[in-house]
Amino acid sequence: MATTKFLSFACLKNETNYEYYSSKPHYPSMPKYPKGISVLTNKDKKAVFSVNGMSCSACAGSVEKAIKRLSGIKEAVVDVLNNKAQVVFYPSFVNEETIRETIEDVGFQATLITEETNEKTSQVCRIRVKGMTCTSCSTTVESALQLIPGVQKAQVALATEEAEIQYDPQIITYNQLLESIEDTGFEAILISTGEDRSKILLKVDGLHTESSTSIIESSLRALPGVEDVDIDPELKKLSVSYKSDIIGPRDFIKVIESTGSGRFKATIFPEGGGKRSHRQEEIKQYRRSFLWSLVFTIPVFLTSMVFMYIPGVKDGLDVTVVNMLSVGEILRWVLSTPVQFIIGRRFYSGSYKALCHGSANMDVLIALGTNAAYFYSVYSVLRAATSPSFKSTDFFETSSMLISFILLGKYLEVLAKGKTSEAIAKLMNLTPETASLLQFDDEGNVVKEEEIDSRLIQKNDVIKILPGAKVACDGFVIWGQSHVNESMITGESRPVAKRKGDMVIGGTVNENGVLHIKATKVGSESALSQIVRLVESAQMAKAPVQKFADRISKYFVPLVIILSFSTWLAWFLAGKYDGYPKSWIPSSMDSFQLALQFGISVMVIACPCALGLATPTAVMVGTGVGASRGVLIKGGQALESAQKVSCIVFDKTGTLTMGKPVVVNTKLFRSMVLREFYELVAAAELNSEHPLAKAIVEYAKKFREDEENPRWPEVQNFESITGHGVKAVVHNKKLIVGNKSLMIDQGISVPLDADEILAEAEELAQTGILVSIDGVLSGVVAVSDPVKPGAREVISLLKSMKVESKLVTGDNWGTANAIAKEVGISDIIAEAKPENKAEKVKELQSLGKVVAMVGDGINDSPALVAADVGMAIGAGTDIAIEAADIVLMKSNLEDVITAIDLSRKTFGRIRLNYFWAFGYNLLGIPIAAGALFPSTGFRLPPWVAGAAMAASSVSVVCSSLLLKNYKRPKKLDYLEIGAITVES
């Protein structure tokens, strides 16, 4: 009997203290991995089993112990309450079936839960792809990635030269993805992986032997919160993945430096190889190549087109060496050869890689065009050298000048493309390099102030922010008061007052006072890092209109090659069979050479690059401009949909209103002091999470301003009645606080005076809360959520933009009508549940409208997803709102107009880019083919055609860059949006 009681007590104890999947093992840790096998050589896997028959913690313990005895088990935890076992194991040494059989051997029935075991794991890695020249290249890489098993989604952006790949790490690794890209003929460099959320790179001096490396690795792996350690002895680079809420980088440095009697020294690994440095290196390469090409091309140009008209010099160049081979021809041949094969080898390399994978890109056109000119010239001079009568005409200047102009165009293009991503560079530079770390004694006094690298800040650190300094991380103020300029993050131009308890964002600037802040989000978890990631992802995402250009690019180059050959053939046959007068042929050419020049011009003037850059460069600049103004647009799809919006559905609370209710009026029906009344009501409402309850508690604090943290009376028998109110006993008095229906349900009569006050409150867009004390209605509290300043003007401006506005809210009809009337909205749906909001959006879409939903991103998620464009307003630091397409950092409604207007301007620029890109090719190719030659005698030399091709790409990028001068609608400048101060 005693034993039974003991076991019952054990089960009861487990039920009261159990925390689902406990991370602490109940038994001494068994070998997690087979002896002699490195943990780095294999990836773990998770399996979840349903275990029936467990009745107490002893049962769970026996199952856990049995599993851990298996070889290859990394971790095993058993949840007795939910009858589940979660096992993390190495599949090379043990499988799910062996684990299941082991559980059943203990005496319990086990079943593998495939839904949880096979949950779709995914990581996102970013890879820089070097060597892409046009849309055909990016399409080739993207197609190759999408065919790989385990790749769930792949996007390749030509403008950023990056690939973003969502993949299943259990099926494929990022190293295999890198190999796949390199197999397509492009260089791949890993930028980041999905495992980088809490990761630090350290440089460790003193690592000279395998023994010292092993000591450091073992010391770090033993620390709580460390998930993975990777050491590169050659670079002395140490990579640590960790849980930032348990441990941080300063802990790692301390452990490393205290290991080995102080012979190791650890510092932050110097950054390098980032996007900015890569772009700078690319600019240097093109500039260097262009300058070297000029060294050889200018003499070729002078000998072929200038010196031929200078007496004396011409005679020297015309001196024959062998038969009819002249000095000038030898000079041009010698000088153009390095340009063709050394400086221009990138075009051979690019075209070879493209052709190997069954595609053709711009490099193919350049290689064909320059080779045609060069090798015809070689044939011509060799024939002159072997013939006593053949007079050679060479085109060496065509091939060398063509390559030089294309390199100049590429140099200007990468220079301009670098400016399109300036917004991200500015954001990344906002974080200060150093921070002042404070240390306190047990009494809370500062005992030490130390300047540290801002990347070494850990959660719960206290950082001192001086006036004029940047805030080093996200956190909240624990001491001091000041004003903080948040314009660089939220776009809010006015400094925001900060005092104890207020949140601050890393990268913002402290204006006047000294602040002590406690770090809450550091490194990649910070708001600034999330914004950068969001903008980077947005610049990767393709607009639907770009698919049209991608489809064209597949056939563009082959079509141009066919047109080029057809042009040469047509002119050649026409010349051979006297299809045009002999007087049309320049004196220095014959009909074959004239036809060849036309064919080469057609080949090199066609520009697929302009088509490929038209959309992504505009999206990059547009999203960057939006980010600098606090409008985060999640890519081309959102831009394209936003510019078509014809109807906007607004949520009420927190969108059209401030979202922070305040008590505006109180009416008592019995004789009592107002302070006493609010003390009772606040005590009752203290345990409620409802915004109206919080408003009452905040108002009650005004009566106790002498106390920093007022203590409220003890509450007994508290009960929250969802959607109605609360019941509680305070000071032996029975309180009921809530709406009219709650009072009626509790049998409390509501006098006529109270009904009139409630009706009057509804007309004023206020919510009336009834208070009953000991069964008698004792008062009415009117709470209002004020309309945001400028809301009416914004709705009016939207009407002028031909955009309808509608209000959908879960509030009562009286309040909804009052708010709608105040802001100027006529179409209202009140008392709507979240699913009703989504249904309203779908109903509007069925009428042919493009619908945007503007909400606070919390209760409005179904509607935000259902809408063509979901806008989360007033998100502040919580920008990770998956449902929204556009995140508005500020709470100002004017940003809705900014988002729509910016989308329209960006898409207008995309249309202009396509008009230019298509127009250029449609006009340029016929002119290059000699369409104007019969009537005007005008023809386009190949080197001029090449210069025009290079200029077209540059002009498209420059056109997109003009978006940096975006100005929001002038009407918004006259919109006086003043701040409402809500006392708290």
DSSP annotation of 890: S
What's the per-residue H, E or C state across 679-728? HHHHHHHCCCCCHHHHHHHHHHHHHHCCCCCCCCCCEEEEEEECCCEEEE
Q: Which two tokens stand for residue 200?
A: 């630090």
CA nearest neighbour of 155 among 619, 493, 602, 495: 619
Provide the 3-class DSSP secondary structure of residue 444: coil
Q: Give the residue among 101, 82, 98 at the shortest CA–CA distance from 90.
A: 98
**What one-letter code names the amino acid at 644?**
K
Task: Name the phi and psi angles at 325, rounded to 5.
Answer: -75, 120
683 close to 728: Cβ distance less than 8 angstroms: yes
Q: What are residue 650's DSSP bridge partners?
A: 807, 854
Provide the pairing of β-strand 496-498 with 503-504.
unpaired
Task: Give me the half-sphere count of Cα atoms (radius 13 Å) on the Cβ side of residue 216.
Answer: 32
- CA distances for 8 relative to 16, 419, 718, angstroms: 12, 71, 31
- Please state, in angstroms and rounded to a whole number, the distance separating the CA atoms of residues 735 and 698: 19
CA–CA separation, 949 vs 929, rounded Å?
14
Asked whether 535 and 624 are in contact (CB, 8 A), the reply is yes
Does the annotation mark 651 as catalytic? yes
CA distances (Å), origin 276, targets 128, 417, 533, 754? 12, 11, 15, 67
Asked if 837 and 860 count as a contact pair (C-beta separation under 8 A), the reply is: yes
CB 432, CB 456: distance < 8 Å? no
Residue 44: burial class (beta carbons within 10 Å; 0-12, 13-18, 19+)? middle
Place of tokens 């680079």: 237
Among 344, 283, 346, which residue's Cα sits nearest to residue 137?
346
Using CA atoms, how far apart are residues 684 and 415, in angstroms rounded to an integer? 65
Q: What DSSP line would sit under 773-818, residue for residue? A: ETTEEEEEEEEE-PBPTTHHHHHHHHHHTT-EEEEE-SS-HHHHHH
Of 79, 474, 651, 856, the active-site residue reads: 651
Strands (E) in 97-245, as ranges, are 109-112, 123-130, 151-157, 162-167, 187-192, 199-205, 226-232, 237-242
Other Cβ atoms closer than 10 A to 341: 11
Give the C-alpha separation, 241 to 945, whole Å. Answer: 53
Question: In the chain, count of helices (H) and strands (E)?
Answer: 33, 36
What torsion, rounded to 10 degrees, do the Cα atoms 629, 632, 636, 640 define? -70
In 3D, which of 200, 600, 529 has the Cα closest to residue 373? 600
Q: Would you please indicate which residues are annotated as catalytic (active-site) residues?
A: 651
